[in-house]
Amino acid sequence: MSRPDASKNVKAYKGLGHNIEIVVVRSGQTEKTVLIQFRNIDHPWNNKIVPHERVMVSPERVEYKTQIQGDEWLTMLGQKMAGSWQYTVKLQGIAQEIAVAYADKLGKEVEPQEIAAAYTAQLEQERNAPVTPQPEASNKTESKGMQVKPETQVLDLPETPVSSAAVATVPAKAAKSAPATAEDKSAELLLRVIEGIEANQDFTANEDKSFKNYFDFKLMLGNRGTMANALVDVKVSFFVDGKWVTGIIVSGNGLPVPQNVATGCAVVFRVTTAIQVKGVPGTNNQERATSHSSLSDPLKIRLEFEMLRGDNIAREFEYRRK
């Protein structure tokens, strides 16, 4: 396999208040095609090299775009403001944008041919990776909406487990195991939010004058039952104009997910949701880091968790605009 032709044109960026490093290497005869390596980021792209298209929209705006599952994704945006360039990075599954700045010293330390060689090796590794069946107790099974590798911990929580008094429940699907009865403790679960809900908006609106408003949850699911359980799927809905509207679960794209939860243990994971909003997103990072003014404040959000054992769990949250 021929190695990409990486030119000597290298640009690097470092996070402002964040450890992330971004290395951009031109991979063709023009600056339109580049390879971007991501470093020091808690994300599946950490140390990965991802091909991007560099689009100079105007003398004051440059965009770095890639394809994720057939959809265009704007990873990095540069805007010239008051005579200086400002850059922000947006990674799928992370609601908050990350501000980065040009790092000349880091760029001089990068050898373009090493990035090109690493990318070739990465492609070969992905192509030759064996497909192995997952054991029953594995947590590697694909599921929608799980955004980070889960942390498994021993459950030592005195709070009351999830019940109809704490949250609403929805009927389990017929194909699942029979729901637990009052005497059956095999499917006793605990669900709690670890941190406050983080919000963010797309950089720009689509051609139909709409954009996505994202809401990111960090959750913990604990299994207090007598048998192992599994989180199968997540759905979201938003209360808009007096009715519940189905939202979007941003796909985990095959990342490790907390599907299996052993008895007496808990998993911590993220779920990033989104709702399509008509209008124009905020014009700066501060305006985009909250819910759009067209949405209710507070905004009611309902998450429904499909479990392998017992009833599904439905829980309502409220997001208050910053």
pLDDT single digits (tens) 121-173: 888 887 776 544 433 333 333 333 333 334 444 444 333 333 322 222 222 23
Split at pLDDT 50, 70, 90, the class of 300 is very high
Model confidence pTM above 0.75:
no
3.40.50, 2.60.40, 2.40.128, 1.10.3470: which CATH number matches 10-128? 2.40.128
- Range(s) of the chain covered by CATH 2.40.128: 10-128
What is the pLDDT averaged over residues 312-321?
A: 92
Contact 272, 250 (CB under 8 A): yes
